[in-house]
Amino acid sequence: MDQNDINRLRGKTAVVGLAESGCGLASGWSAMEIMASAVHDALDDAGIKLKEVDGVFAATAFHSMAAMSLSEYLGVKPKFADGSQIGGSSFLSHILTAAMALDAGLINVAVVAYGSNQKSAGGFKTISEAMPYEAQYQPRMPVTAYALSAKRYMNEFGATREDLANVAVSARDWALLNPRAYTHQDGPLTVNDVLSARPIVDPLGKLDCCLVTDGGAAVVMTRSDKAKDTKNTPIYLLGAAMEHHHRMISEMPDLVQTSAIESGKRAFSMSGYKPNDMSTIQLYDAFTINTLLFLEDLGFCKKGEAKELVKNNNIGPAGNLKVNTNGGGLSCVHPGMYGLFVTLEALRQLRNASGDDVGQRLNGGWIDNAKLSVAHGNGGVLSSQVTNIWGVSDTL
Amino acid sequence: MAENLKGTVGPEQQFKNFLSEGKFMIQRCKSLNKFFFHPRVAFPGSGERDLEWVEASGNGEVYSSSCNRRLPEKGGDFNLSLITLEEGPRMMARVEGIDPDKVEIGQKVKARISSLNGEPAVIFDIV
């Protein structure tokens, strides 16, 4: 199959509705209730009726068969459903699968959804099995895995904990502009705050780690021809690709190079755009090291140079690169699996710039004239990498 | 038992049985003359099935390391590292006999079989 055949998905589908629900603390609400509420809100946003939904895509840490449970709860009888579980990036891969199913004519309206009440239900939640050959040593997963990568990164490239801390400082600065962010009222962070936070797994401290919150999200997708008739600005899927090389951190071929190198290359190729064309850059920042790795692996700088790129708040609101503009998993929201929130922010920035009302931000929180966003999802322990490129209609 | 499952137990159980006997064994693909870890039914990536168990030299080098913070009443801080074995493969393990936050990348280590929570485990010491 040649590249033209693969690229047939470019621009064929669009997100026409989106919503989040229960972000922060949603005491008394179940993961399913939070997820289903997001789906209904996203359908309202799209102006599409529930009975039109014939594709359901979901994964959570609460449901072993999430797509089936969600379909039943909604009262939807899908013609195609997928609950593939590849960690926090699952939703970006669901978007690719949904695009394929829509383009093939198997379905007409897809919802991709997530919901979690992990914070109000007692903390980080996983349904992962114990990893053979690792569990015996009692790693504090997933933190230990990311700490091992961070340590190796610091060693190979002469990076410091201060370089990692710069990522958390910029993420917080974005959150201060976003009233939806969990830390919106918490004030700015300094590098010293990050360095002096409680150590979790050296070299990562508490403020190098994402938040633990509740929250759900959903997007509604259709083919592009139908998208034009919905009530909001459609945002088109221009490129999508995934790759993974390991499940266990001990099997990661190189701790400082993720398979985002491959997913990014193919997603950008499908889109016809380059990293520097992106108006906004939304990266799955479960830990500060992620942002450095993904800026490099997606092609925003060379390997080992992200520590320079993030200096002087260059990825903050006043910087040159608009990275994790909601505040990220570090400072906005992180209900266990963050992939759909990366996606939501990529889409919201484009819709806001197109004139849609997608909420209020303080001055500088919305990116003027945003036309293209990259959303990058990470799952497991730097394992699954999925890249989606989104654009407004004149980027088609 | 299915005919394609040769041997009395699978490679994971064989590895554990060797550890119980005090041996740290890893697999080698004979036709490729390459070692690999973790134990599998075939060579990862290309699928060769002519495998044999070889006792590891136990020599290795720290590829990366972390200090896992834990309350003293729960056992205190502990080290968790990735070790590149002399034979090539990499594995997760603990480095002991040194402060858990003092293990550095590139340090030479040597394996011994100890126990963790009542199960035999490969542990490394700084050479």
B92 and A147 in contact by Cβ < 8 A?
no
Question: Is residue B50 domain-shared with residue B85, that is, in the same domain?
Answer: no
pLDDT tier at A169, thresholds 50, 70, 90? very high
Of the residues B25, B26, B80, the best mutation for testing chain A's interface (the one with the most A CB atoms within 10 Å of its CB) is: B80
Tokens of A184: 């919106």
Find the CB nearest A134 among B65, B92, B119.
B92
Tokens of A323: 């990275």
* Any domain includes B1: no
The C-alpha angle with vertex A101 and arms to A97 and A102, in degrees rounded to 5, equals 115
Residue (of A97, A390, A48, A12) closest to A235 by Cα position: A390
- Please tell me the predicted confidence (pLDDT) of residue A326: 98
The C-alpha angle with vertex A113 and arms to A146 and A260, in degrees rounded to 5, equals 35
Q: In what order do the strands lie in the sheet with B34-36?
A: B34-36, B25-29, B51-55
Find the CB nearest A132 among B38, B80, B116.
B38
H helix or E strand, kind and range, residue B67 = strand B59-68
Residue with tokens 């699968």: A97
- Please tell me the predicted confidence (pLDDT) of residue B1: 44
Nearest residue in chain B measured CA to CA from A140: B68
* Any domain includes B111: yes
Q: How much is the pTM?
A: 0.97
> How many angstroms from the chain centroid is the CA of residue B69?
23
Find the CB nearest A202 among B66, B92, B116.
B66
- Please tell me the predicted confidence (pLDDT) of residue A175: 98
- Please say if the pLDDT value at position A1 is more than 70: no
* Any domain includes B37: yes
CA A111, CA A56: separation in Å to the nearest integer?
A: 5
- Please say if the pLDDT value at position A123 is more than 80: no
CA A265, CA A254: separation in Å to the nearest integer?
A: 18
pLDDT digits (tens, 9 = 90+) for A220-272: 999 999 998 888 999 999 999 999 999 999 999 999 999 999 999 999 999 99
The per-residue b/e assignment along B64-91, b for 16 or more CB within 10 angstroms, e otherwise, is: bbbbbbeeeeeeebbbbbbbbbebebbb
Question: Is residue B47 domain-shared with residue B63, that is, in the same domain?
Answer: no
pLDDT tier at A212, thresholds 50, 70, 90? very high
CA A188, CA B112: separation in Å to the nearest integer?
A: 48
Question: Is residue B16 domain-shared with residue B69, that is, in the same domain?
Answer: no
Nearest residue in chain B measured CA to CA from A134: B92
Residue pair B120/B111 in contact (Cβ under 8 Å)? The answer is no
- Please say if the pLDDT value at position A196 is more than 60: yes
Of the residues A151, A155, A381, the best mutation for testing chain B's interface (the one with the most B CB atoms within 10 Å of its CB) is: A151
Question: Is residue B104 domain-shared with residue B74, that is, in the same domain?
Answer: yes
CA A319, CA A293: separation in Å to the nearest integer?
A: 19
pLDDT tier at A107, thresholds 50, 70, 90? very high
Nearest CA to CA, how far is A208 from chain B (Å)?
14
* Any domain includes B78: yes
B67 and A201 in contact by Cβ < 8 A?
yes
What letter represents residue A264's amino acid?
A: G
Q: Is the dihedral of CA A129, A135, A138, A140 positive or negative?
A: negative
Question: Is residue B119 domain-shared with residue B72, that is, in the same domain?
Answer: yes
- Please tell me the predicted confidence (pLDDT) of residue A395: 98
CA atoms within 13 A on the CB side of A355: 3
**Which residues in chain B touch residue A200, judged by CB atoms under 8 angstroms apart?**
69
What's the CATH number where B67 sits?
2.40.50
Interstrand relation of A55-58 and A80-82 (parallel, antiparallel or unpaired): parallel
Which positions of chain B have pLDDT values less than 70? 1-7
Nearest CA to CA, how far is A181 from chain B (Å)?
29
Question: Is residue B70 domain-shared with residue B85, that is, in the same domain?
Answer: yes
CA A298, CA A292: separation in Å to the nearest integer?
A: 10
Domain range for B105? 59-126
Q: What percent of chain A has pLDDT over 70?
A: 99
Q: Which residue has the higher pLDDT, A361 or B2?
A: A361
CA A383, CA B42: separation in Å to the nearest integer?
A: 22
- Please tell me the predicted confidence (pLDDT) of residue A230: 86
Find the CB nearest A201 among B69, B94, B117.
B69
CA A24, CA A109: separation in Å to the nearest integer?
A: 29
B64 and A203 in contact by Cβ < 8 A?
no
Alpha helices in A138-282 (DSSP H): 143-157, 161-175, 191-196, 224-227, 260-271
> Could you tell me the maximum CA-CA distance found in chain B, to the nearest angstrom?
51
Question: Is residue B50 domain-shared with residue B64, that is, in the same domain?
Answer: no
What letter represents residue A172's amino acid?
A: R
- Please tell me the predicted confidence (pLDDT) of residue A229: 81
Question: Is residue B51 domain-shared with residue B65, that is, in the same domain?
Answer: no
Looking at every residue in chain A, the average pLDDT score rounds to: 96
pLDDT digits (tens, 9 = 90+) for A270-296: 999 999 999 999 999 999 999 999 999
Q: Please tell me the total count of domains within chain B.
A: 2
Question: Is residue B113 domain-shared with residue B77, that is, in the same domain?
Answer: yes
Tokens of A170: 């910029």
- Please say if the pLDDT value at position A135 is more than 80: yes
3-state secondary structure of A28: coil
Question: Is residue B122 domain-shared with residue B109, that is, in the same domain?
Answer: yes
Question: Is residue B14 domain-shared with residue B33, that is, in the same domain?
Answer: yes
Rounded CA Rg of chain B: 16
* Any domain includes B2: no
The per-residue b/e assignment along A242-268, b for 16 or more CB within 10 angstroms, e otherwise, is: bbbbbbbbbbbeebbbbbbbbbbbbbb
Alpha helices in A240-302 (DSSP H): 260-271, 288-297
- Please tell me the predicted confidence (pLDDT) of residue A313: 97
* Any domain includes B43: yes
- Please tell me the predicted confidence (pLDDT) of residue A122: 83
Tokens of A300: 């925003």
Q: Is any Cβ of chain A less than 8 angstroms from the Cβ of B90?
A: yes
pLDDT tier at A353, thresholds 50, 70, 90? very high
Question: Is residue B82 domain-shared with residue B106, that is, in the same domain?
Answer: yes
Q: Is any Cβ of chain A less than 8 angstroms from the Cβ of B63?
A: yes
* Residues A118-139, mean pLDDT to the nearest whole number: 89
Q: Could you count the other beta carbons within 10 Å of the beta carbon of residue A30?
A: 17
CA A153, CA A345: separation in Å to the nearest integer?
A: 28
Find the CB nearest B64 among A132, A148, A251.
A148
